[in-house]
């Protein structure tokens, strides 16, 4: 039996299990709230793990270990920035957003929340924020589809075109059928698979390279600067990597998890579970890339694929060090990381199209069943556009993932954060924040100013715009009243 057969069988079993979960969720999906937010019924474990899994894409098992393998520990600043950002997001935004969305028209999406929170009768806030979501997320979805295709291509030797459809089909199937519950339940399974892979692999690599002391000596012998956290970095470089953490406040697919929690009481427990999971996963990722340096310097005969593409370090270690069946499970973790993020992004795009365009402007009195089926149709539409964008793997779109993360972080982050913390914020303040954040990111990226990651100036200028423009007007009595009621609710139940 060839080594790829057990891997193929493991992949097929794994994908079949995900689709089965989709059909189980289908039976619990009765209306649009169920399809978009799971009827706000997620307990703390599912909230925590689905928030983590939806955030960590194929980058966790391919991009980051590859960067550490190439450059050593100086690449780990991004992991530190992400941990700090995620923790602050759980602490300041999660619980408050859960109660604010409920008090503001039981909002199901971010554009819906902005529209109700700021009493925007013109529909401008809803349209602008829904367009931002659709543009940036379609780019994101395309990158997820490419990551899945690359995995199938390298694992099974498929042609890229076939791999593209193979990787995307399962994710589209369970998102289409089961909506938010399917995505959240599968995320929980996928998060468990990811942490298993990222804790087991570095331990086995350590054993294969002769233990901690021998491994560290080998890494040092290969290049003593591998241990230097400041190697080849500048102050601006470190700040730029840490700045990734600011993105969390504005990522719609992560914020949707907070909105879907069964109650604000679940949030504190979910925060502890999610942060433990995240720290262990990122620690494991860094360890895989770092210990991989020692393994491949001791075994140069098998280092070819990793020398050619460092992002394959986790894939190659899994194939070389494990029984083919276990390797299949570990490689499924990469598929899990890709699928969990892609499914959330497809669903957020579908929600924006269904709730914020179709229902808001075309069919205000559409039945719940009609809206659920429109939501399903929109999952297919967005997926097909993303597949078309991903058809050329050399497409420049894929370099735009950090750009999309910055776009969301700067356009929505300050608006979400300030809207749940300050009752004095106004509709014009929110509009100014979204526009200034998005425009700053685009211009800063275009002119590559100071070598600084564009999310940082975008976030700062958007926050200033919100504060200055809000000060020029005043929120209505209704806005203040709803904010205070929600804040009181949050403090009572937190």
Question: What pLDDT digit, counting tens, does each position of 283-310 carry?
Answer: 999 999 999 999 999 999 999 889 988 8
The pLDDT of residue 164 is above 60 = yes
pLDDT average, residue stretch 188-199: 90
What whole-number distance in Å separates Cα of residue 16 and Cα of residue 125? 40
Least confidently predicted of 76-85, 173-182, 222-231, 382-391: 173-182
pLDDT average, residue stretch 49-66: 85
| Cross-strand partners of 261 | 42
Neighbours of 272 (CB within 10 A): 13
pLDDT average, residue stretch 71-83: 92
What is the pLDDT at residue 274?
94
Residue 471 lies in a domain: no
Task: Take residue 55 and report the two structure tokens written for it.
Answer: 């955030």
What is the pLDDT at residue 399?
62
Q: Are 346 and 175 in contact (CB under 8 A)?
A: yes
Give the pLDDT band (50/70/90) at residue 395.
low
- DSSP assigned state of 40: G
Q: State the pTM of this model.
A: 0.90
Question: What pLDDT digit, counting tens, does each position of 420-468 carry?
Answer: 999 999 999 999 999 999 999 999 998 988 889 999 999 999 999 999 9
What whole-number distance in Å separates Cα of residue 262 and Cα of residue 45? 11
Residue keyed to tokens 């659709």: 134
What is the pLDDT at residue 4?
57
What is the pLDDT at residue 155?
79
3-state secondary structure of 429: helix
Residue 188 lies in a domain: yes
What is the pLDDT at residue 1?
37
Range of the domain at 145: 4-399
The CB-side HSE value for 149 (13 A sphere, CA atoms) comes to 23
Closest listed residue to residue 375, CA positions, set 176, 130, 238:
176
Q: Assign residue 264 the CATH number of its domain.
A: 1.20.1730.10
Task: Take residue 358 and report the two structure tokens written for it.
Answer: 């179709």
pLDDT average, residue stretch 350-359: 86
Question: What pLDDT digit, counting tens, does each position of 7-42 carry?
Answer: 888 888 888 888 888 888 888 778 888 888 877 888
Mean pLDDT taken over the chain: 89
The pLDDT of residue 51 is above 90 = no
Task: Take residue 180 and report the two structure tokens written for it.
Answer: 């938010």
Q: What residues have CB less than 8 Å from 411, skipping those under 6 apart? A: 129, 132, 250, 433, 434, 437, 438, 441, 458, 462
Q: What residues have CB less than 8 Å from 392, skipping those under 6 apart? A: none
Q: What residues have CB less than 8 Å from 104, skipping those under 6 apart? A: 113, 116, 117, 482, 486
Give the pLDDT band (50/70/90) at residue 153.
confident
In 3-state terms the chain splits into helix, strand, coil percentages (rounded to 5) of 85, 0, 15
Q: What residues have CB less than 8 Å from 161, skipping those under 6 apart? A: 391
Q: Are 116 and 105 in contact (CB under 8 A)?
A: yes
Task: Take residue 298 and report the two structure tokens written for it.
Answer: 């001791």
Residue 290 lies in a domain: yes
Q: Long-range contacts for 400-403 (Cβ within 8 Å, ≥24 apart)?
A: 400/139, 400/143, 401/59, 401/139, 401/140, 401/143, 402/453, 403/139, 403/441, 403/445, 403/454
Sequence-ordered alpha helix ranges (H) in 299-426: 304-308, 313-321, 324-353, 368-390, 401-411, 413-421
Least confidently predicted of 172-186, 307-321, 480-494: 172-186
Q: Long-range contacts for 414-418 (Cβ within 8 Å, ≥24 apart)?
A: 414/249, 414/250, 414/459, 414/462, 414/463, 414/466, 415/114, 415/250, 415/462, 415/466, 416/93, 416/97, 416/110, 416/249, 416/250, 416/255, 417/92, 417/93, 417/249, 418/463, 418/466, 418/467
Residue 96 lies in a domain: yes
Give the pLDDT band (50/70/90) at residue 60.
confident
The DSSP element (H or E) to which 395 belongs, if any, is none
Q: Are 160 and 168 in contact (CB under 8 A)?
A: no
What is the pLDDT at residue 396?
60
The pLDDT of residue 267 is above 90 = yes
Question: What pLDDT digit, counting tens, does each position of 104-147 carry?
Answer: 999 888 998 999 999 998 989 999 998 888 888 888 888 888 88
Report, in angstroms and rounded to the nearest whole number, the Rg of the chain calculated over CA atoms: 22
Residue 238 lies in a domain: yes
What whole-number distance in Å separates Cα of residue 18 and Cα of residue 4? 21
Q: Are 19 and 173 in contact (CB under 8 A)?
A: yes
Residue 479 lies in a domain: no
Percentage of the chain exceeding pLDDT 70? 98
Q: What residues have CB less than 8 Å from 467, skipping those under 6 apart? A: 418, 429
Q: How many domains does the chain have?
A: 1
Residue 445 lies in a domain: no
Question: What pLDDT digit, counting tens, does each position of 38-48 carry?
Answer: 778 888 998 89
Least confidently predicted of 63-77, 228-242, 383-397, 429-443: 383-397
Q: Are 469 and 429 in contact (CB under 8 A)?
A: yes
Q: Are 348 and 252 in contact (CB under 8 A)?
A: yes
Task: Take residue 354 and report the two structure tokens written for it.
Answer: 């269904």
Percentage of the chain exceeding pLDDT 90? 44
Instruction: Give me the DSSP letters along 64-100.
Output: HHHHHHHHGGGGGHHHHHHHHHHHHIIIIIIHHHHHH
Residue 409 lies in a domain: no
150 phi and psi angles, rounded to 5 deg: -60, -40
Question: What pLDDT digit, counting tens, does each position of 316-344 carry?
Answer: 999 899 988 888 888 888 888 888 788 88
């Amino acid at each position: 039996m060839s080594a790829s057969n057990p891997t193929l069988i493991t992949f097929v079993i794994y994908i079949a299990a995900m689709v089965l979960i989709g059909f189980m969720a289908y039976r619990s999906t009765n209306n649009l709230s169920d399809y978009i937010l799971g009827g706000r019924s997620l307990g703390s474990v599912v909230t925590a793990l689905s928030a983590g899994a939806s955030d960590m894409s194929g980058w966790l098992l391919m991009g980051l270990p590859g960067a550490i393998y190439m450059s050593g520990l100086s690449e780990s600043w991004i992991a530190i920035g992400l941990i700090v950002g995620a923790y602050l997001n759980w602490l300041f935004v999660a619980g408050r957003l859960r109660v604010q969305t409920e008090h503001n028209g039981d909002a199901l999406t971010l554009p819906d929340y902005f529209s109700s929170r700021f009493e925007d009768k013109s529909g401008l806030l809803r349209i602008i924020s829904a367009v931002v979501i659709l543009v940036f997320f379609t780019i994101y979805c395309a990158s997820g589809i490419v990551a899945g295709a690359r995995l199938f291509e390298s694992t099974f030797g498929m042609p890229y075109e076939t791999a593209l459809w193979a990787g995307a089909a399962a994710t589209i199937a369970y998102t289409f059928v089961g909506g938010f519950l399917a995505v959240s339940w599968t995320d929980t399974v996928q998060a468990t698979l990811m942490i298993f892979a990222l804790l087991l692999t570095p331990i086995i690599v350590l054993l294969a390279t002769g233990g901690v002391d021998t491994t560290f000596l080998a890494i040092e012998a290969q290049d003593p600067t591998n241990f230097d956290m400041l190697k080849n970095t500048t102050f601006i470089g470190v700040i730029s990597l840490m700045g990734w953490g600011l993105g969390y406040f504005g990522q719609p697919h992560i914020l949707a998890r907070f909105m879907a929690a069964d109650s604000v009481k679940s949030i504190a427990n979910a925060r502890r579970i999610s942060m433990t999971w995240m720290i262990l996963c990122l620690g494991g990722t860094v360890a895989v890339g770092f210990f991989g340096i020692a393994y491949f310097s001791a075994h140069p005969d098998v280092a070819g694929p990793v020398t050619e593409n460092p992002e394959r370090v986790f894939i190659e270690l899994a194939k070389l060090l494990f029984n083919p069946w276990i390797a299949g499970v570990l490689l499924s973790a990469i598929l899990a990381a890709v699928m969990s993020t892609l499914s959330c992004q497809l669903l957020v795009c579908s929600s924006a199209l269904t709730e914020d365009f179709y229902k808001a402007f075309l069919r205000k009195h559409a039945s719940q069943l009609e809206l659920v089926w429109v939501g399903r149709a929109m999952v297919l539409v967005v997926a097909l556009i993303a597949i078309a964008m991903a058809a050329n793997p050399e497409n420049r779109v894929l370099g735009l993932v950090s750009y999309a993360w910055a776009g969301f972080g700067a356009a929505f982050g300050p608006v979400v954060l300030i809207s749940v913390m300050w009752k004095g914020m106004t509709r014009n303040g929110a509009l100014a924040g979204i526009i200034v954040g998005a425009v700053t990111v685009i211009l800063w990226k275009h002119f590559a100013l100071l070598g600084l990651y564009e999310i940082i100036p975008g976030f700062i200028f958007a926050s200033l715009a919100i504060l200055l423009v809000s000060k020029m007007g005043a929120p209505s009595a209704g806005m203040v009243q709803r904010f205070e009621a929600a804040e009181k609710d949050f403090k009572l139940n937190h």
